[in-house]
Amino acid sequence: MAGQSKIEALPPWGNAIAGSAGAVIANALVYPLDIVKTRLQVQVKRSPTSATPNPADGEHYTSAMDAIAKIVEAEGVPGLYTGMAGSLIGVASTNFAYFYWYTVVRSLYLSYRKVSTPPSTAIELALGAVAGAVAQLFTIPVAVVTTRQQTVSKHERKGLLATGKEVIDSEDGWTGLWRGLKASLVLVVNPAITYGAYQRLREGLFPGKKNLRPLEAFALGSMSKALATIATQPLIVAKVGLQSKPPPARNGKPFKSFVEVMKFIIEHEGPMGLFKGIGPQIMKGLLVQGFLMMTKERMELMFILLFRYVRQVRAEKLQKLADLAASKARSAGPILTK
């Protein structure tokens, strides 16, 4: 099946490890963009009559570069890596779960339909959405804790476990760790669009090519993520609002749904407020997805070569055992005939 995606060449766990490893490397490289876009999305846009400082450091960011400069000034360069440990744990677990279940559901679909042609775009999106929903159920608590770490002031900031305990104690008990679950489930369309677009672009631009070059994978990953980010940015902003501390205008009252967050943003900032932070969001998405798919392609190739080597060693060992058994049988033959 020359035109078939290489994703079926690996077992689910192999594809999951390749995907999660690529995601961790990619997110570690561009993590400062993650904290910048999160802080831009959580602050209420300053109006001529109302000053709304960012809850993380009391400043107000006018752009991504302004945010970087003020974070470094207030906390030093390490401030750009606040919450990185929790974020990378979340990235690894989310991508492992996503790629594992995506491989499983895609393989089940292909075996059920008994077809050799790739699924349609609609089916690809649906399969990605199912995999993303399952992954979110298991991994959203880490995202909630990381967002909280990124959006509180330096003197309020705590470790990963302490922040998780604070969320549990100050909100709705254990269910507080799943705050924003509905928005996250809706947002599974983001990776679904991303990987659906990636599959379509790959099959359209490189039909039948099993191993993409690093730059080819980078370009396809970047383009597919840009499309997904533009389509889902309002939901991304609403999810961040749900998982962070409520803005001062809410008097400590947390949001209950992403629709409530979106209404609040439109009321205070207008419809374009739903797209705040889209610059660093797209830049982060372009770099992360590009590096992720480039790294994942290499990791998958490494796993395929490893599996091939293991199969070869196993076959040689079995052949030696068979030859030894045959040799023993030949030497025992004359004795049995006496």
Q: Is residue 188 part of a domain?
A: yes
N-to-C CA span, the chain: 57
Check pLDDT > 50 for residue 7: no
Q: Where are the beta strands (DSSP E) in the chain?
A: none
Name which residue leads in pLDDT, 10 or 206.
Answer: 206
Task: Tell me the three state secondary structure of residue 50.
Answer: strand
Q: How many CB atoms lie within 10 A of CB 259?
A: 12
Q: Is residue 21 part of a domain?
A: yes
**What is the per-residue pLDDT for 320?**
82
Q: Is residue 91 part of a domain?
A: yes
pLDDT digits (tens, 9 = 90+) for 149-207: 777 777 777 877 888 888 787 766 777 788 777 777 777 777 778 877 887 888 888 88
Q: Is residue 259 part of a domain?
A: yes
Domains of the chain: total:
1
Mean pLDDT, the chain, integer: 77
pLDDT digits (tens, 9 = 90+) for 236-284: 888 888 877 777 777 777 787 878 888 888 888 888 888 888 888 888 8
Q: Is residue 1 part of a domain?
A: no
**pLDDT band, residue 86 (cuts 50/70/90):** confident
Q: Is residue 190 part of a domain?
A: yes
Phi/psi at 196 (5° precision): -65, -45
Domain hosting residue 174, numbered range? 6-337
Q: Is residue 133 part of a domain?
A: yes
pLDDT digits (tens, 9 = 90+) for 131-147: 778 877 777 888 888 88
**What is the per-residue pLDDT for 171?**
63
Which CATH number does the domain housing residue 50 bear? Answer: 1.50.40.10
DSSP string covering 264-299, please? HHHHHH-GGGGGTTHHHHHHHHHHHHHHHHHHHHHH
